[in-house]
Amino acid sequence: MRGAPANETSRSVLAPVRAVFRAVVVTVVPDARQLDEPSWLALEELVEDALEIRRPALRGQLQLFLRVIQWLPVVRYGRTFVALRDEERSRILRYMQDHPVERIRCGFWGLRTLAFLGYYGRLEGAHAIGYAPDPRGWEVKR
């Protein structure tokens, strides 16, 4: 939400579920652990920008899905997602990735895509994987 006035922060999709979103991101992209706060904010801004053009219902579903991810582990581990160890978080996300209910699998893959978009969409993330776009196109020899 580039340039959004401070009084529009309530429009943020991620703000109410920031902790669980960040926990998902570091589980999906372990290098995200190294991010400082400005880098996290840049990552979240990219994700918010992508969500801004989506239907309000979808944004609400994403928040609900993140809340489900937060509380689902309480049944098995007695702790919320953000309180789990790395391997336990990975287990929960693998469960959702391979879930028999298609809607849950789709929700996971959409969330994973947002995590990648936010991390690798930042200039530093793109450079980390050697991505250097050229206005002349893909055929340019490097």
According to the model, what pLDDT value does residue 96 have?
A: 95
Query: Does any domain span residue 137?
Result: no
Query: For residue 109, what are its two tokens?
Result: 């893959």
What pTM value is reported for the model?
Answer: 0.84
Q: Is 35 helix (H, G, I), strand (E, B) or coil?
A: coil
Range of the domain at 50: 13-126
Q: Can you say whether the dihedral through the CA atoms of 15, 4, 110, 114 is positive or negative?
A: negative
Closest CA to 93 of 83, 104, 103, 102: 104
Query: Does any domain span residue 64?
Result: yes
Query: Does any domain span residue 136?
Result: no
Q: What span, in angstroms and rounded, lies between the C-alpha atoms of 133 and 45?
A: 21
- Looking at residue 129, the DSSP 8-state letter turns out to be T
Residue 26 makes CB contacts below 8 A (sequence gap 6+) with 32, 33
Looking at the structure of the chain, the number of domains it has is: 1
Query: Does any domain span residue 22?
Result: yes
According to the model, what pLDDT value does residue 142 have?
A: 58
Tell me the pLDDT of the chain (142 aa) as tens digits. Answer: 444 444 444 579 999 999 999 999 999 999 999 999 999 999 999 999 999 999 999 999 999 999 999 999 999 999 999 999 999 999 999 999 999 999 999 999 999 999 999 999 888 887 777 777 777 877 776 5
According to the model, what pLDDT value does residue 6 have?
A: 44
Exposure letters 27-44 (e unless 16+ CB within 10 A, then b) = bbbeebeebeeebbebbb
